[in-house]
Amino acid sequence: MNAAVRSITRMALQKGCTPFAIFEGYQGLVDGGEYIKQLGWEDVQGMLSVGGTSIGTARCMAFRERAGRLTAAFNLVKNGIDALVVIGGDGSLTGADKLRGEWKGLIDELVQTGVMTSLYPWTGRLTTEESAGLRENLTIVGLVGSIDNDMSSTDITIGAVTSLHRICESLDSLTSTALSHQRAFIIEVMGRHCGWLGLMAAISVGADWVFLPERPPPLNSAKYGSDWQTELCDYIGKQRAMGNRKTIIIVCEGAIDNNLAPIRPEDVKTALEKGLSLDSRITTLGHVQRGGTPCAYDRFLATVQGVEAVNAVLRSTPETPSPMIGMNQNKITAGPLLEAVKLTKSVADAIASKDFKKAMDLRDPDFNAAYNAYVESTVHALEPGANLLPEGERLRIGIMHVGAPAGGMNAATRIAARLCLNRGHSCIGIRNGFAGLIRDDIVPLEYRDLHGWQVRGGSELGTSRAHPQPPTDGPKLHVVGDKFVDLGLIAYHLQKHSIDALLIVGGFEAYTSILTMAISRKNYPAFCIPMVHLPATVSNNVPGTDYSVGSDTALNAIVDSCDRLKLSANANKGRVFLVEVQGGNCGYLAVMGGLVAGATNVYIPEEGISLDMLQHDVHHLTNRYTVEKRTKKHKRAEGRLILRAEEASAETYTTEVVSNILRAEGRGLFDSRTAILGHLQQGNVPSPLDRIRATRLAVDCIDWIQKRAAHGRSRDQESSSRSSPLAAFPATYCPDGADACVIGVRGADVVFTPVEELLAETDLKARRGKVAWWMNLKELIRILAKHEYVEHDDLDGSRIDLTKQD
């Protein structure tokens, strides 16, 4: 929420508006006085890393009465406020829209009689003059702040992902305890009418069962009727029999059975102890889920939605329905607020009427897809053989990691392998990429091998940059390093191990590897198998997708480091940290990291670094520090960050060189230090978002492989033609090139794009896509850092123009 307050305030100032903070929510609006405060640029300084809400929030019974809203309207007009941006849940947003609907009548009453009720002391009347221009309309814009992610018409709400971070941090710790003691842990998480937190946490930590409000147990009502306790014990017992040493069960606070009876953690504990004699413990996370430093994604979401909220205020008309700012398909949207609230309440109505299918359908498609992925990849032993394919349709699917390690690689591999085993496929783990393949370093993956992979960073299979030797008649590839593997050897070993399909998890090298094999099919028929690339790289430079698995983990590592560096910079008055981040020739991490860490500027490979850029930044820093050190209201100069992508003009303007230039040109007004984050960005536990994305994409990859195999020759024909492991594959198996693809998230859709088609949108030399959706955010960094806004500070009767050096 604080990130939203910051961006709304600074964007309003940029647009020539006057922002106010109303402290303690509607209570502050009713009380007025010191609870309504005009905000300046520095008033929101440092807010990005602060959890909760610095301006406070409170339930206000008075605002529900007309008398309370009358007083609120009086305070708004007295302060000249004609627009409200409300950050809250459906109740807060509905209340704001009601105030708008009554606005003209309230102002007329205030002009005629003033505020005088039994509930409030006489406040006064409004004059016609002071209400002029404010009498006809009050503009309302809503932002959804809800950890439950329970608002319709938006894919995600402010605070939900941070809450998921807090849950997963706790569950990751509990998992190690559960493994040590072989106990069952039952964790209650928030979610009264929406199971998003519970479901996503279950996916992120590999929980064994989850109880949701929208989909009550039993899952197999035909077999168990209403006896969810027996269904749970049957499943957990089978898991234990398969060697699972721990049991993690998540219960949403609004969990119910199919008769609408509440399911409490105590009920689950009793069921496990009676049915399995299983030592069980209950943990209620409570308000821990609401606290802590906001994660990178929530800072991004709140920042860009705050900017859009100001724009929505400025384009609003009396006829425009109050908008709610949302996020749909990776794009900021503005839709009717009341329609979104109505749809949200319809979910609770559907649950109350036991129409659970409708309740699930009313959730966004991602929720349903995630639920189905969780059930198939986790609740596999409930109905043995239910998902098994016919013998002739089962495949030997190879999985390998290629390129640098990235958070979420193991999560993707775990889910893909479990789905393969559920369906009867053989899952072959290929260690250390193509280098391991030609050394026959392969291992069949079984359930017991995959325990705990969901939360592990790095690569359990091992990864390398060894790359298939590009053919001379193909596109010119710019491969990192010079370790090439002969195509003939790769083809030989794929046939030797009877690999029917290949899933490669990795970065740009994984893309060019599949591209190399695809264009070499005419010479090596062994490559005529379904091959799919699941993008996993911190750089987020793979074409065909908005996000790569691992990029969110890296971004959170950057934000965590930048928060600490900023504390150091603040303590040392007048210090600028130049922070080098990874990303190769792609500036995604620098731009997104700069936006959510509150950087002054970022330098990226797409634009490079020039003397003009450095000179402008020196002037900007000089002016800012001059104002802060000479103005009495600033007790100390703010520490600042500039992020530099590692390959931004790397041959000339290295991190050390740029830092030295800044230090020299600062002339003692400010200092400069460097921080190179290096491989810290690739490590650590994968973020919940990366685990969720990995799960979703892995499920779709296995589905895609099965469909592509079905489009090829029949399994009987394959078996007869491959009686020898060295038998040739028919080139007609892949006639249209659609059997070598990159899976990607574009907007809200998961798409498969043939690797050869992606050539048109790929810069092979720079090793990145030609179009980047995040590039326009770079200018927003400069705007929020006060590069463009000219503020006049009164210093001894003079005014400082911040666009010029003092």
SS3 content of the chain, % helix, strand, coil (to 5): 45, 15, 40
> Helices 2-14 and 296-315 meet at what angle, rounded to 10?
40
Contact of 767 with 508, CB cutoff 8 Å = yes
Query: Among 746, 743, 696, which Cα is nearest to 531's?
Result: 743
**If DSSP states are collapsed to H, E and C, what string results for 239-261?**
HHHCCCCCEEEEEECCCECCCCC
- Beta-carbon neighbour count of residue 237 at 10 Å? 15
DSSP symbol at 749: E
Note the helical H segments in 316-454. Answer: 337-352, 356-362, 365-378, 409-423, 433-437
Please give the angle made by the CA atoms of 35, 38 and 42, to the nearest 5 degrees. 115
Contact of 414 with 456, CB cutoff 8 Å = no
Cα distances from 391 to residues 340, 397, 701, in angstroms, run 48, 15, 20
- What are the pLDDT digits (tens) for 67-119? 899 999 999 999 999 999 999 988 889 899 999 999 999 998 888 887 655 45
Residue 684 has a pLDDT of 77
Contact of 38 with 19, CB cutoff 8 Å = yes
Residue 559 CA to residue 58 CA, distance in Å, equals 30
Residue 102 CA to residue 122 CA, distance in Å, equals 21
Close Cβ partners of 671 (under 8 Å, ≥ 6 residues apart): 572, 574, 575, 576, 663
- What are the pLDDT digits (tens) for 272-285? 999 999 989 999 99
Residue 797 has a pLDDT of 33
- What are the pLDDT digits (tens) for 458-469? 999 999 999 999
Q: Where do you find CATH 3.40.50.460 in the chain? A: 160-290, 553-684+778-784
Residue written as tokens 């990159």? 742
Residue 251 CA to residue 583 CA, distance in Å, equals 39
Residue 481 has a pLDDT of 66
Which residues are known catalytic residues? 148
* Architecture label for domain 2-157+294-341: 3-Layer(aba) Sandwich (3.40)
**If DSSP states are collapsed to H, E and C, what string results for 727-740?**
CCCCHHHCCCCCCE
Residue 536 CA to residue 545 CA, distance in Å, equals 11
Close Cβ partners of 157 (under 8 Å, ≥ 6 residues apart): 144, 145, 146, 147, 148, 149, 150, 151
Residue 805 has a pLDDT of 34
What's CA 30's distance to the chain center, in Å? 36
Query: Among 587, 628, 626, which Cα is nearest to 606's?
Result: 587
Residue 109 CA to residue 528 CA, distance in Å, equals 78
- Per the DSSP assignment, residues forming a β-bridge with 516 are none
Residue 76 CA to residue 32 CA, distance in Å, equals 8
Residue 769 CA to residue 746 CA, distance in Å, equals 13
Q: Where do you find CATH 3.40.50.450 in the chain? A: 2-157+294-341, 395-548+690-768
Helix (H) or strand (E) holding 743: strand 740-746
Close Cβ partners of 709 (under 8 Å, ≥ 6 residues apart): 393, 395, 500, 501, 530, 715
Residue ranges of the chain with per-residue pLDDT less than 50: 118, 381-382, 634, 713-716, 718-719, 722-733, 793-806
Give exposure, 42-68, as e/b (b: 16+ Cβ within 10 Å): ebbebbbbebebbbebeebebbeeebb
Residue 452 CA to residue 599 CA, distance in Å, equals 36
Residue 806 CA to residue 629 CA, distance in Å, equals 12
Instruction: Please state the φ and ψ torsions of residue 208, each to the nearest 5 degrees.
Output: -85, -20
Beta-sheet pairing, 247-252 with 209-211: parallel
Residue 799 has a pLDDT of 33
Residue 599 CA to residue 337 CA, distance in Å, equals 33
CATH code, residues 395-548+690-768: 3.40.50.450
Instruction: Please state the φ and ψ torsions of residue 215, each to the nearest 5 degrees.
Output: -135, 80
Class of domain 553-684+778-784: alpha beta
Residue written as tokens 């040493």? 245
Tell me: domain 160-290, CATH 3.40.50.460, correct? yes
